[in-house]
C-alpha cells in the first residue's frame, strides 16, 4: 500500500515557511549579486526536495511498526516508555533513536495505524547532540521535546519523541488527540535535521541495528510478537 492521499511528492505543510524564507533570501541575493542568487536558488531547489511529502510503499501487516523518519539508527536500548503522568509505574519498552540528516527527507510519518492519544510539547534548549551515548542522554534531558503517543486498535502503544537540536528548532505535529492515522501517513516534522526516539513495546521483535539507514514508512523497525495487550498503554479511565 502507499502512504495515501497526502503522498504525492508535494511540499509538506510544515516545509512552506522554510521555503518562503529561502525564496526571500534568493530574491535579495539575486538583486545584490546574480551568482549568489543562482547559488541560493540551487539551495531552494534542494530544500523543495527535502521538505516534500514522498511517495512511499508501506509494507502491509497490522503487527508491523515502520520507521517514522528517514535517517540513521544511532542507538537502540531497553528503556521504559516516557511517563504519561507523574507517579505512573514504569512500563518496559525498547527505544530506537534515529538521526535525520540535512540530506534526508524531513517529513515524519506515522509508524503504526492508530489514534493519537497524546501530543505534548515540552520546552527546552537546543544544544548539540554530540557523538557519544552520554552526550545524547544529556541532550534528551535538556533539549526541547515533543512526545506523540499513538495507540493501535489492539490496545498497544508506541511513543514518538521529536527532539530538538542545534538545527532542529521547531518540533511540529499539529495533530489533535483522537486523530486517526494510517501507517505511513504524515505526522509532522523536526525542522530541520532533527533526532527522534521511537519507543515500542518491550516484547516486539526488533528488525533494525545501529548504523542502519531508515526509510520512513518503508523500513520495518519491529514486529509485534507478544499478546496484543495494551503494552505501554494507559487504562481507559486515564484517557
| Domain ranges across the chain | 64-233
How far apart are alpha carbons 214 and 156 in whole angstroms?
23
CATH superfamily of 64-233: Glucose Permease (Domain IIA) (2.70.70.10)
Residue pLDDT, tens place only, 136-164: 999 999 999 999 999 999 999 999 999 99
Q: What pLDDT is stored for residue 130 in this prediction?
A: 87
Pick from 3, 21, 7: nearest CA to 169: 21
DSSP at 71: E
Beta strands in 2-129 (DSSP E): 64-66, 71-78, 93-99, 107-109, 114-122
Q: Which tens digit of pLDDT belongs to each residue from 80-100?
A: 999 876 677 899 999 999 999
Q: Give me the pLDDT at residue 51, please.
A: 80
Euclidean distance between CA atoms 51 and 106, whole angstroms: 6
Q: What is the pLDDT of residue 53?
A: 84
Question: How confident is the model at residue 230, as a pLDDT?
Answer: 43
Distance CA 189, CA 172 (A): 5
What are the cell numbers at 149?
Answer: 503517543
Please tell me the distance from the alpha carbon of residue 51 to that of residue 38, in angstroms, as a whole number: 20
In this prediction, residue 8 carries a pLDDT of 52
Among residues 97, 110, 99, the alpha carbon closest in space to that of 187 is found at 110
Given a cut of 50, the residues of the chain with pLDDT beneath it are 2-7, 229-239
Cβ–Cβ under 8 Å, residues 76 and 67: no
Amino acid at each position: 500500500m502507499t502512504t495515501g492521499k497526502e503522498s504525492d511528492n508535494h511540499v509538506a505543510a510544515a516545509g512552506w515557511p522554510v521555503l518562503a524564507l529561502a525564496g526571500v533570501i534568493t530574491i535579495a541575493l539575486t538583486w545584490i549579486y546574480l551568482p549568489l542568487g543562482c547559488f541560493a536558488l540551487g539551495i531552494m531547489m534542494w530544500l523543495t526536495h527535502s521538505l516534500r511529502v514522498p511517495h512511499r510503499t508501506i509494507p502491509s501487516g497490522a503487527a508491523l511498526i515502520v520507521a517514522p523518519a528517514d535517517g540513521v539508527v544511532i542507538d537502540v536500548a531497553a528503556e521504559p516508555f516516557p511517563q504519561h503522568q507523574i507517579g505512573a509505574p514504569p512500563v518496559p519498552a525498547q527505544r530506537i533513536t534515529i538521526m535525520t540528516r540535512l540530506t534526508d527527507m524531513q517529513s515524519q510519518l506515522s509508524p503504526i495505524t492508530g489514534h493519537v492519544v497524546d501530543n505534548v510539547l515540552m520546552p527546552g534548549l537546543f544544544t548539540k547532540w554530540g557523538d557519544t551515548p552520554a552526550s545524547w542522554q544529556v541532550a534528551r534531558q535538556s533539549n526541547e521535546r515533543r512526545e506523540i503517543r499513538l495507540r493501535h486498535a489492539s490496545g498497544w502503544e508506541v511513543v514518538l519523541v521529536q527532539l530538538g537540536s542545534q538545527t532542529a528548532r521547531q518540533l511540529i505535529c499539529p495533530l489533535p488527540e483522537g486523530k486517526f492515522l494510517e501507517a505511513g501517513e504524515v505526522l509532522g516534522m523536526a525542522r530541520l535535521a532533527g533526532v527522534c526516539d521511537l519507543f515500542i513495546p518491550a516484547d516486539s521483535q526488533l528488525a533494525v541495528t545501529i548504523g542502519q539507514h531508515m526509510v520512513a514508512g518503508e523500513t520495518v523497525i519491529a514486529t509485534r510478537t507478544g499478546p496484543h495487550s495494551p503494552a505501554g498503554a494507559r487504562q481507559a479511565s486515564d484517557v
